[in-house]
Amino acid sequence: MKSKYADLRLNEDINKIEEAADCIKHGGIVLFPTETVYGIGANALDEKAVNKIFKAKGRAPDNPLIVHIASIDMLNKLVQEIGEVEEKLINNFWPGPLTVIFNRKNNIPNNVTAGLETVGIRMPSNGIARKLIECADLPIAAPSANISGRPSGTKIEDIIEELDGKVDYILDSGMTDIGVESTVVRVIENKVHILRPGKITAEDIKKLGIDIVIEKQIMEECNPNEKVMSPGMKYRHYAPNTKCLLIYSDDENKLIDKINKEIASGKNILVLGRTKHLNKYKTENKLDLGESLEDISKNIFTLLRKVDSYNSDLVIIEGVKKEGLGLAIMNRLIRACEHNYTEIN
């Protein structure tokens, strides 16, 4: 059966959002936009509804979901306490793309948190997401909209094939703004540990006078049997079927030379490069990452979904400096390349 579909690209039809919210109230699951990526949402207090999300995505049951809220009142009903540092983060970055881990109350079903004593919560800034939560008057548990392992959905055209019929309702508002999932943080002894980098950067948090720890798993390969602070990090994610190689150098000329050498090797290579470099590559097979970090963040998932159609032997992706939003971009790209990464000095 096909999912119900509402086109909100030109006009935010509140009647359709109310219909989708009603679906959530009755135990259904809804594909909806946020400012980061699309999510698949269910009533976070309804274990059965949440199970439908795991089934639709084929998500491992030990990978917890983020709960989306629209008010501090909702937060108070879900968490044990809000510490001073957490409060500072909330005051500065909510609503927005920051997920904060809290000690949870027992009203949250175990499948939402994958049995953990903590829960990840965020207040999205996207107007449709906010209205959906407000109309449902419920916290909404929502992972990214994609089959597990695939790149997260940033526009409906990319994910309709894999999710149509698996969700009850689809709210389409065009391409999402940020393009990478939220920053996930946990406060331990007054320090903010970054478990997953995103649009809210380590530098943004440091500016508040808070100490930061960037978890090493962000760039390293995790052993699937190892206990990690952010369970999502241990899963294969974003990788196309074609082999990918990520290359970065601070020196642009060295980067371009290295990629052209690979192209000259005779292999059929597809290059994903920055706009200003594209005409320097001696191949017809290239895709434009965009120029600014904001462009690249917005484009990476939709581009990663395109690469297999080129049937190339190898995809070479230009890396960026691991600073600011660049850390989030590199975290996603290094995983798309399954840690096949070269840095040239």
Binding site for ligand AMP (CB under 6 A): 63-66, 101, 113, 116, 118-120, 143-144, 181, 184, 195-196, 229-233
| Closest to 334 in 3D by CA, of 200, 172, 221 | 221
Tell me the closest approach of the beta carbon of residue 278 to ligand AMP, in angstroms: 30
Determine the residue type at 341: Y
Residue showing the smallest CB distance to ligand AMP in the complex:
232
Is 183 an interacting residue with respect to Mg ion (CB under 5 A)? no
> Which tokens belong to 217?
């798993």
Nearest approach, Cβ of residue 35 and Mg ion (Å)? 15
User: Which is nearer to ligand AMP, 66 or 315 (by Cβ)?
Assistant: 66
Q: Which does 138 bind (CB under 5 to 8 A by kind): Mg ion, ligand AMP, none?
A: none
Whichever of 21 and 65 has its CB closer to ligand AMP, that residue is: 65
Shortest distance (Å) from residue 241 CB to Mg ion? 19
Q: Which of 34, 111, 126, 144 binds Mg ion (CB under 5 A)?
A: 144
Residue whose CB is less far from Mg ion, 144 or 183:
144
CA 82 to mean position of chain CA atoms:
25
Tokens standing for 340? 């096949």
From CA 129, how far away is CA 34, in angstroms rounded?
Answer: 6
Distance from C-alpha of 181 to C-alpha of 192, rounded to nearest angstrom: 18
Q: Tell me 181's DSSP state.
A: P
Among 229, 286, 227, which residue's Cα sits nearest to residue 256?
Answer: 286
Contact of 315 with 220, CB cutoff 8 Å: no
Residue whose CB is less far from ligand AMP, 116 or 278:
116
Min dist. Cβ of residue 178 to ligand AMP (A) = 12
> Which among 51-59, 88-96, 143-151, 200-208 is the span making contact with Mg ion, rule CB under 5 A?
143-151
Give the sheet arrangement for strand 286-290, strand by strand. 286-290, 269-274, 314-318, 244-249, 341-344
In the complex, minimum distance from the CB of residue 314 to Mg ion, in angstroms, rounded to a whole number:
26
Residues that bind Mg ion (CB under 5 A): 144
